[in-house]
Amino acid sequence: MKNNFLLLSAMLLWGAGTAQKDSVMIRKIYDEALQNGQCHQNLQVLCKQIGHRLSGSPAADKAILWGRDLLQSYGPDKAWLHPVMVPVWQRGKSETGYVIGQNGERTRTRIAALGGSVGCPGGITGELIEVKSFAQLDSLGEQGIRDKIVFFNRPMNPLHINTGAAYGGAVDQRGDGAARAARYGARAVIVRSMTLAVDTFPHTGGTWYADDFPKIPAAAISTVDANALSVRMSKDKNLRYELTLNCRDMPDKEQANVIAEWRGSVNPERIITIGGHLDSWDIGEGAHDDGAGIVHSIETLRILKAIGYKPRNTIRIVLFINEENGNRGGITYADEAKKKGEYHFAAIESDAGGFVPRGFRLDGTDAQLVWLKDQAPLFDPYDLHYFRGGGSGVDIGPLKDGRVALIGLVPDSQRYFDYHHSDQDTWENVNKRELELGAASVAALVYLIDNAEW
């Protein structure tokens, strides 16, 4: 009994000492991020000197070299390019959309072809039909849809507090709308942009075809145009739409994930991966999506080096390629890991924007989730409060093996879709402190994971 008591006391003291040491380290990490942070200026270079960088583009090539050189400058043990074959889709020089009235009057709407769409360089014209759901599409059937241009116009639901949930409830229109409408003989689709903002910017994003039906052109229109068009259609049933797209698929090309490795001093065989995706859509600057995650990940290395930390496990920063239209980077990275029999202890992804961090989501074992929740008090001084299960990130998803902890940074979601996949996703719309706090949060979690056992 007495021995147990002593043991218990020793354990409690040890626990208190560890918590004390952790809180000092985490304070150092945040101080370094806020006092000497480089992520905001690094993001400026990525956004302004390189700009948007769709997989397969020359800009993506530039971004890969930029990322490797920047990582190298922060002194990892090594940095290298990990070759990945990526799809190449090009928007082409011009794309136009016109609403055509009964007397032939033409009203231009600003459009953006959806990523992966086939082109229609000669233009396609058809009668417009507004559809809010796939159930409605199915009930209209071939009779209602054939030869028409389907206008998918179900708004994201503003009642979701997390805007990601609102996106999840609407994005089927963008991802599968063309494939579903093609079944019934539609000529093309236009899709209301995936944003809760009422703005004049088309927000693009991937669309995916089914193999057993023809591929038809698909483009996004802005929410302002979608609202106006819907009102106009309620008064005039015979509106037509003319869509001209010059986008096309090209042969796959070799690009790369960028990887920097910092070897562990105790368990070098155990790997902690931190990453985001280097590619972006081909409009805007890919600042929040996912330039923020890229500079968060790179800044993690810089911060831990700057405070003199020596990792127990091997830390890898990975700038994944091709998240937006294929996830070839994530898949190739996981394939390689499997082939080499690597032991992945944890992987953290930042791909939800450079907004003020609120916490982390974990996809892993029950023990790992309990561990994550136990870290909450250490993050309380930094206003992080969200530590829950479920979800992580697209790039790290393929690593899932029942053992690795997959973790996603959870920034505040309110403004994310204002910028997402549009010309608005620029460096100017990323706040310096919010970005730095995100980087510090990732670095702090990496430190804690590096000292965890589960």
Q: Which residues bind its own copies (CB under 8 A)?
A: 30-31, 34-35, 158-159, 161-163, 196-197, 356, 358, 381-383, 385-386, 412, 414-415, 418, 431-434, 437
Cis peptide before 401 (omega within 30 of 0): no
The first and second tokens of residue 106, run together, are: 């033409």
Q: For its own copies, give the closer residue by CB, 219 or 440.
A: 440
At its nearest, how many Å lie between its own copies and the CB of residue 205? Answer: 20
Give me the amino acid identity at 307.
Answer: I
Q: For its own copies, give the closer residue by CB, 101 or 164.
A: 164
The first and second tokens of residue 168, run together, are: 């999840």
At its nearest, how many Å lie between its own copies and the CB of residue 199? Answer: 10
At its nearest, how many Å lie between its own copies and the CB of residue 196? Answer: 6
Q: For its own copies, give the closer residue by CB, 120 or 197.
A: 197
Q: For its own copies, give the closer residue by CB, 176 or 412.
A: 412
Q: For its own copies, give the closer residue by CB, 114 or 437.
A: 437
| DSSP one-letter code for 381 | G
At its nearest, how many Å lie between its own copies and the CB of residue 436? Answer: 8
Which stretches within 183-327 are classed as H helix?
Answer: 223-235, 292-306
At its nearest, how many Å lie between its own copies and the CB of residue 431? Answer: 6
At its nearest, how many Å lie between its own copies and the CB of residue 119? Answer: 35
3-state secondary structure (DSSP) of residue 387: strand
Cα–Cα nearest to 453, from 274, 267, 265: 267
Going by their DSSP bridges, the two strands 78-90 and 248-262 should be labelled as antiparallel
Q: For its own copies, give the closer residue by CB, 436 or 450.
A: 436
Q: For its own copies, give the closer residue by CB, 277 or 415.
A: 415
Q: How many H-runs (helices) and E-runs (strands) does the chain carry?
A: 13, 16
The first and second tokens of residue 420, run together, are: 């997402």
At its nearest, how many Å lie between its own copies and the CB of residue 356? Answer: 5
Q: For its own copies, give the closer residue by CB, 310 or 385.
A: 385
Q: For its own copies, give the closer residue by CB, 180 or 415.
A: 415
At its nearest, how many Å lie between its own copies and the CB of residue 432? Answer: 7
Q: For its own copies, give the closer residue by CB, 261 or 434.
A: 434
3-state secondary structure (DSSP) of residue 363: strand
Backbone angles phi, psi at 299, to 5 degrees: -65, -30
DSSP of 38-66: -HHHHHHIIIIII----TTSHHHHHHHHH
Distances (CA, A) of 254 to 78, 208, 325: 21, 22, 15
Sequence-separated (6 or more) residues with CB below 8 Å from residue 12: none
Give me the amino acid identity at 185.
Answer: G
At its nearest, how many Å lie between its own copies and the CB of residue 366? Answer: 22
b vs e for 399-408, b when ≥16 Cβ sit within 10 Å of the residue's Cβ? beeeebbbbb
β partners of residue 344: 271
Contact in structure between 114 and 264 (CB atoms under 8 Å): no
At its nearest, how many Å lie between its own copies and the CB of residue 161? Answer: 5
β partners of residue 206: 115
DSSP of 357-401: EEEEEEES-HHHHHHHHHTHHHHGGGT--EEEES---TTTGGG--
